[in-house]
Amino acid sequence: MPAPPARRPRTAAGRTASALCLVLGLGLFTGAATGALINHDPAAVGTTQGAYARAGDLWHSVPVDTLLPPVVSRPGAGPGGADRTYTRIGVAPAAGCAGAFDPLLAKVLAPVGCVQVLRATYVDATSSRVTTVGLLVTGGDAAGMSALNHRWNSEHLGSRLDLMPHPVAFPGTAAASFSDAQRASWTVSVSATLPVVVYAVSGFADGRPVPEPQPAAAATAPGATSAPAQAGLGTDVLVLAADLDARLRKAVTTDPASSQGAS
């Protein structure tokens, strides 16, 4: 099967107009195990032209609540089998890609381009931890995504402190002080088969700085004793990233004709 063709970049006006199509509507979680995101390709589905195109259009063709719902609940997902529930604090405006990432991370991602970034910040049930989860929709073709995925994983870029994604703060909420200095744990997963990058970054809601952030894979490893690990911030990252990943996969594999017929 030939590789899906590269999509033509959208104009700024087109992105803005399409962003207005994001409407609220609660989706249902159908995700996999929390830890599955650590070592698997986000949205790993058959690389058909239709799936590739749908993934590239999700940011304006699928309601924002379908991908980033108001509430995410994961029974038994926490340490010791504790339930995890997260409430969405806010959704960042679909304002394009400028400034969405630190310059070095943006440089690493640059070969596949950037069409749009969707971001939302959540707070846990105790209002003590906050997590920003994001979806980068790239403009890259299948070969470009495969190459970036290989580089990201083979060079272990996901564990580098200088490649952490930015959080998104919302004034007047538990995430009011959520800035780069408060980042405690994170994950970034580059798809090898679709034009998407799923990421999440967590921190403490009280705004305390974290001098030694830890990637989620390390913070959730057995015996981990770091502050992010003990607080469960690595788990927060993986739960919310896995939730977005599962919703993305469901949207990409849904037959558009069937969806229209059922509506």
Rounded to whole angstroms, the Cα distance separating 217 from 37 reads: 9
Quote the tokens at residue 121: 């910040």
| pLDDT score at 42 | 54
Tell me: the pLDDT tens digits for 146-160? Answer: 999 999 999 999 999
pTM of the predicted protein model: 0.81
- Tell me: the pLDDT tens digits for 104-135? 999 999 999 999 999 999 999 999 999 999 99
pLDDT confidence of residue 255: 58
Residue 7's contacts (CB-CB under 8 Å, 6 or more residues apart) are 53, 56, 115, 139, 141, 195
Which H or E run contains 55? helix 49-61
Confidence of residue 16 (pLDDT cuts 50, 70, 90): very low
Q: What percent of the chain has pLDDT over 70?
A: 78
Which of 28-42, 65-79, 237-251 is the least confident region? 28-42
Q: Which of 196, 186, 244 is nearest to 217 (CA)?
A: 186
Could you tell me the residue ranges of all domains in the chain?
A: 45-254
List all residues 6 or more positions away from 22 whose beta carbon is below 8 Å from its beta carbon.
59, 60, 63, 64, 94
Q: What is the mean pLDDT of residues 229-242?
A: 96
pLDDT at residue 256 tops 90: no
Judge whether residue 32 has pLDDT over 90.
Answer: no
More confident residue, 94 or 144: 144
pLDDT at 26 over 90: no
Q: For 181-228, how does the pLDDT look when each residue is reduced to its tens digit (9 = 90+)?
A: 999 999 999 999 999 999 999 999 999 999 999 999 999 999 999 999
